A and B are shown apart, each in its own frame.
Chain A
Amino acid sequence: MPDEILELEEEEHTSPLTAPTFKRIVGLLRPHWKWMAGFLAAIILTAAQDAIFTYVNKLMIDEGIVAKNVPVLLKYAAIYGGMQLLQAAFVFSFIYLAAVLGERIQYDLRKALFNHLQDLSLSYYSQNAVGRLMARVTSDTGRVSSLMTWGLLDVTWAVVSILMSTIFMLVINWRLGLIVFSIIPILIVIAVSFRKKILVEFRNSRRANSKITGEYNQNIQGVRVVKALGREDENLKEFSQLTDNMYRASYRAAWLSALFLPTVQIVSAFALGAIVWYGGMQAQIGLFTVGAIHAFVSYLTFMIWPVQDLARVYAEMQHSIASAERIFKLLDTEPEIRNRPEAFPAETMRGEIEFDHVDFYYEDRKPVLTDFTLKVKPGETIALVGPTGGGKTTIVNLLCRFYEPKAGVIRINGRDYSDYTLQSIHSHIGIVLQTPHLFSGSIRENIRYGRLEASNEDVEAAAKIAGAHEFIETFEKKYEQEVGEGGNLLSVGQKQLVSLARAVLARPEIFIMDEATSSVDTLTEALIQRGMEALMAGRTSFIIAHRLSTIRRADRIVVIEEGRVAETGTHAELLRNRGHYYRLYTQQFKFEKEQAYGVAVAEALPVIK
């Protein structure tokens, strides 16, 4: 729900159309100019014919009916029929061309945005909430494409309709035509002011609606608390304030809409009255015919629709332009980390890794790593330990080159790692995150993410090494089992095992793991440990470690506190020092033992019955 509120806030933004934005919007249309020309031609012809229909009817009345001339009547009827068929072709063309073009532009924009997002650096993602980025790709593209197709179409139709009807009215009787012409601006002003008011209320009601949904959500999820505290009555009272807001906004939007058409109609009725009186007087001298009356009444009655369309497009246009500007801004963002011009692919990353006096911060003046230096021999396992916020994750982020050092150098094989291409660095790294991220699809697809060309046998072999095979086999569909959105259908431990298998399959030269803090059952825990061991064997490994068994197994332990190396050495060395590590270790030791015995208690209990 918060995403929706975010989006609503953004929708409030409006922008006037500036020349550069306009040029870029036009630029989007250029590849499809034939489609656009097609629907514009079709809508112009449609609008023109609409006006001609009325004129043909006028001729039918004056030259056929009043003159009592049946052949002429039938001639015009035939013309009318023929036009009707032609009109159907035009209508088909403009709906089809504009609609498909709209979908196409949306497709193009989404593709461009998505592809660009893939190249942007992690820093961009940490500054922009996922909800906002989602809105860029989904709703902003929708708004822009609809402005460029339906918006353009409606405006064209409205302008041509008004123009054609006005011309015909002036041709039929220029004096009366002028009367009608004079009310058009009034109608447009009324329409625009109505539209704007309605739009405001419409947004209010959407905002109220998302609050209502949020409240439903909370109250259902927290129903235990609600019941325990007996807060039902107060909740209802608070909730009915939300529904009151919703009621007010939607009611107002609805009755404003209901007021709009009558207002416009009444204004036109005054014009009609003027025509009746003035035209009636002129009819005496033969200047005004029954057909002309019919034509004027029709033109006037249907003038409402183009006016309404103009107002709608005008009111919504500024929001759509703001959307377009946000899209362009994203597309203009340069990735912070890119391949250097002379970068070349690293053939191997098995060599030594060195952090040489590295400084790093995410925000100015808030240093995360200061003068961080660490040399790692090939094949060594490093356990990073220390309190949350100390900088462990940052070290991993720098190593993966998700970020680059602000000062100092990171060397791999003795070379500054920015000499290598990003792709080649990443293809040698295998990573397992603390909260494993899986994609919708089957387990097999998720493991294969590690190496796309891997065979089914490779996938299963990797799963066996990672210790995931056993639980996968318990599923009815085995490797074809769907994992659900974000892997929701699997347990946390299972997700970890699948992501371990994924890393195994990637055959990385450097293995990075952020160990999970959340506890999983003992059996899964043992499997995860086994999988990690398999991955660490013979590879340079960095483990953000929480579990004692992992820490103890490391070749070297690096204690990170406040962005610096507080202590480094083997488990035995550090324990003897009785420093930072000693404190962390004893605390974790007690915690894990208690947990372990807790399980032991559970398993042993039935014995004493």
Chain B
Amino acid sequence: MASIAPISTYFDFRRALTEKKLIGLWRMMADYRLAYAAANLSLAVSALAKMLTYILLRNFADTILGDALPFAGTLERTLIIIALGFVGLAIIEGGFSFVSGRLAAYSAEGITRRLRNFLFDHIQRLSFAYHSKTPTGDLIERVTSDVDSVRNFFNEQAIGIGRILFLFIINLAAIWQLSWKLALASIVVIPVILAVSLWFFKKVTKTYEKYQEQEAVLSTTLQENLTGVRVVKAFARQEYEKAKFEKDNWEKFLRGKTFLKMHSLFWPLSDILCGFQMLGGFIFAAILAINGKITVGTYPAYVGLVVWLIWPMRNLGRNIVQTSTGLVSYGRLMEIVKQEREPLTDGRVQAQGAVLSLSKDPVRGEIVFDKVSFQYEDGSAHVIKNVSFGIQPGGSVALLGSTGAGKTSLVNLLPRFHEYTDGHILLDGAELKDYPRQYLRRQIGIVEQEPFLFSRSIGENITYGVGRDVAQDEIEKAARAAAIHDVILTFPDGYKTLVGEKGVTLSGGQKQRVAIARTLLKNPRILIMDDSTSSVDTETEAEIRGALNGLMENRTTFIIAHRIQSVMNADLILVMDKGAVVQMGRHEELVAQDGMYRKIYDIQTRIDEELEDEIARAKDER
């Protein structure tokens, strides 16, 4: 509400971590507890006004029966006062009910917003170790449906249970005032109603889940059929597919029927319970009225009040069952929240006691590996074994070796995606672990073989993460240097074209060049490059190569390569196998040595000869 000071849209939900889930939910309400209290208070006022409406009804009925005028003056005056009373009470009841609803929505939506913000931020700050072992689908499931059921708790249960209890207490108190015997007689069946509705909602929730599961099965069948239409047609399997769908569709119909049958039994049966409870109360109240124990006007007032006593109880069962769903979801969310974040700004390397600044203190890029080893977990095998080498600022290191040799794991140590477990890595003479991660990562550019692009425009993908405003001509300059500008111009909306399913799909090589453009803008001191070009035509390959060479200038570069061609010019070549460096040196040195490097080199030069041989053979077949 406007009158309330704005509450931050970010909240550290680690403060809500606890084993006791209800307490956890209570802590999540921080800053909004006052609003909730006010919402509940408003509900109470609203319920009170509703109750008073019926009391006023009693006065009105008794008035026209001529017993006595409740207010001084003429009958007409009395009637006008009563009429205005009804309107006034309705305004109070409605007004407060609105205030309560609005406050509840304000709180529930506010809590949900900051929960979403927190989870988003928290997840992107969790370590690589966590991300690599957690499937995306599982995380998405939690941040969507579990957040939804927590939101439902705050939106409905946190206020709905209060609403039902207030209605119950206030109306019971009012009836108690009329006659305590009548009050007791009016609530005999309530425990039964509550028990039955609890049992039913628990049961029906399970049945509904089964129904939903089948719905999911059916859509999988449908989706596979639609995406596999060529296979279906080529094997002429239309009838088979129809039968398969029919089976799933019919099963869904049956499960739906079971689920709905439960509803069709619960509601009328609970109607009978509630209806006979009311009837019992009516007869009791009527007899009291006939015997003069209560006024005649009290009877219609009672009939009005008792409705709000009994019927809401059916919904209390639903609310309680849903609360337990909320508690389960809280638990599932807290499993994410309790994960340790990767500290981004902690580090001991500082410039004159102040935090490192990129503009003032860029690294020079001298890197020394000193007996570096790395393993993912204690006791697991070493992924990097005892690697030592050094490189001057602006120099280039090429890593050659097969898949799984440890090339990627080695370069992942530089931005501190993973921490080396033994030895030292020195950057400009200081221990790498002492540099703040954020600072370090801004100094390092990474160009992957097939980089991940985001579904936003190509222009935005190029400026993504550059960390400053970039003018359009600067973007284009980078794109030209990365040999992607001309390609972008062929897209329908140029630089504004969306990447992904709603726009254009880029090939692996194109994605790589977008990443090159981005890295040029970022202008890092250290560059990590995956140079395993996939099957692209020669022309494109030459373009990519040119772009990469431009990028490497004046930067300390790490190249991951599979081919001699891309490593020949490096200042230092590391031939890797199973996490260890098996050969090291410049191209000329390695070629001169009797080793694997020369074998690979020989093989590659032999390819051209082999091709000529083959063409010659073709001629012989004439």
Contacts and interface: CB of A to CB of B under 8 A. Distances in A.
Q: A and B: partners?
A: yes
B116 A243 contact: yes
B249 A73 contact: no
Nearest to A423: B236
A199 interface: no
Interface in B579-594: 582-583
Interface stretch (A157-165, A368-376, A459-467, A601-609): A601-609
Interface string A83-97: 011011111100110
Contact of A254 (B91, B101, B451, B575): B101
Interface in B90-135: 90-91, 93-95, 97-98, 100-102, 104-106, 108-110, 112-113, 116-117, 120-121, 123-125, 128, 131
Contacts of A593: 607, 610
6 contacts: A5-B502, A268-B90, A431-B231, A437-B231, A439-B228, A586-B611
A485 B38 CA distance: 50
A274 B87 CA distance: 10
Contact of A130 (B226, B249, B441, B575): B226
B467 interface: yes
Nearest to B108: A254
Interface stretch (A64-72, A170-178, A325-333): A64-72
A565 B389 CA distance: 56
B61 interface: yes
Nearest to A126: B229
Contact of A602 (B120, B265, B279, B405): B405
Given A84-B279, A608-B582, A219 B227 contact: no
A59 to B, nearest CB: 12
B394 to A, nearest CB: 21
Interface residues of B, number: 162
Given A96-B261, A243-B116, A276-B86, A107 B94 contact: no
A440 interface: yes
A226 B283 contact: no
A110 to B, nearest CB: 5
A220 B139 contact: yes
Interface string A49-89: 00000000100110011101010011001001100110111
A526 interface: no
A91 B267 contact: yes
A134 B10 CA distance: 37
Contacts of B20: none
Contact of A114 (B112, B245, B622): B245
A61 B117 contact: no
Nearest to B9: A240
A268 B261 CA distance: 36
Interface in B114-172: 116-117, 120-121, 123-125, 128, 131, 136, 139-140, 143-144, 155
A193 interface: no
A441 to B, nearest CB: 9
Specify the main secondary structure of chain A where it touches its partner: helix
A602 B117 contact: no
Nearest to A267: B90
A439 B268 CA distance: 44
B212 to A, nearest CB: 12
B241 interface: yes
Contacts of A506: 235
Contacts of B63: 280
Given A218-B454, A273-B84, A422-B236, 15 more contacts: A88-B275, A91-B268, A99-B260, A125-B229, A134-B226, A138-B218, A222-B454, A225-B465, A230-B441, A239-B116, A281-B75, A400-B230, A437-B230, A485-B224, A601-B401
B350 interface: no
Given A227-B441, A235-B124, A110 B249 contact: yes
Nearest to A272: B86
Taking residues whose C-beta sits less than 8 angstroms from the other chain, chain A's interface range is 35 or more
B300 A297 contact: yes
Contacts of A45: none
B54 to A, nearest CB: 9
Contacts of B279: 77, 80-81, 84
Contacts of B614: 575, 589
B378 interface: no
Contacts of B344: 230, 232
By Cβ-Cβ distance, the 10 closest A-B pairs, closest first, are A258-B101, A602-B402, A229-B465, A262-B94, A269-B90, A254-B105, A99-B260, A294-B300, A426-B236, A88-B268
Given A130-B227, A232-B124, A506-B235, A485 B76 contact: no
Interface in B584-614: 595-596, 599-600, 603-604, 607-608, 610-611, 614
B388 to A, nearest CB: 17
Given A258-B101, A276-B83, A600-B603, A114 B441 contact: no
Interface in B230-270: 230-238, 240-242, 245-246, 249-250, 252-253, 256-257, 260-261, 263-265, 267-269
A229 B464 contact: yes
Main secondary structure of the interface of B (DSSP, over half): helix
B121 to A, nearest CB: 5
Contact of B82 (A122, A276, A290): A276
Contacts of B95: 262
Interface stretch (B187-195, B284-292, B426-434, B470-478): B284-292
A91 B226 contact: no
Interface in A243-268: 243-244, 246-247, 250-251, 254-255, 257-259, 261-263, 265-266, 268
Contacts of A243: 9, 113, 116-117
A452 interface: yes
Contacts of A280: 60, 63-64, 75, 78-79, 82
Residue from A77, A88, A130 having most chain B Cβ neighbours under 10 A: A88
Interface string A1-15: 010010000000000
Given A130-B226, A269-B86, A605-B577, A262 B97 contact: yes
Interface string A111-149: 100110111001001000010011001100000000000
Interface string B198-216: 0000000000000000010
A258 B486 CA distance: 55
Contacts of A591: 535
Given A88-B271, A134-B226, A589-B611, A216 B140 contact: yes
A225 B618 contact: no
A122 B230 contact: yes
Contacts of A16: none
A186 interface: no
B222 A80 contact: no
Interface stretch (A19-27, A207-215, A310-318): A207-215
Contacts of A336: none
B3 interface: no
Contacts of B144: 213, 216
A6 to B, nearest CB: 9
A604 B603 CA distance: 13
A262 B144 CA distance: 32
A594 interface: yes
A93 to B, nearest CB: 8
Interface in B268-308: 268-269, 271-272, 275-276, 279, 282-283, 286-287, 289-290, 296-297, 299-300, 303-304
A589 B513 CA distance: 25
A274 B139 CA distance: 59
A276 B260 contact: no
A455 interface: no
Given A244-B9, A259-B98, A133 B105 contact: no
Nearest to A268: B90
A366 interface: no
A486 interface: yes
B65 interface: yes
B442 interface: yes
